[in-house]
Structure 1
């Protein structure tokens, strides 16, 4: 099984395909995770000082 499939490859056993949808989705998920981590850290700091 291949992890990343190139756009011009003809195979069905892959996890991610290297195209614009996958790149956008990966960037979106990473951004959401960074925002969630920042919110958890900020709330931890905020509630620690109350």
Structure 2
């Protein structure tokens, strides 16, 4: 029974890690707003934009 719990927890841990990775990637590649030039402006933060 304990072995089953360990296998279940390992599986759940892996599922959560994958979900976090997907959500984190979406967050990183999302957009942000800046008012540095006086008025709010929406900027893309796609991976290509971050590399430049």
TM-score, normalising length from structure 1?
Answer: 0.59
Off by >2 Å, runs of 4+ in structure 1: none
The structure whose Rg is larger is 2
Task: Give the alignment's Cα RMSD to 1 decimal.
Answer: 0.7
Q: Unaligned 5+ residue runs, structure 2?
A: 32-52
Q: Unaligned 5+ residue runs, structure 1?
A: 1-19
TM-score, normalising length from structure 2?
Answer: 0.57
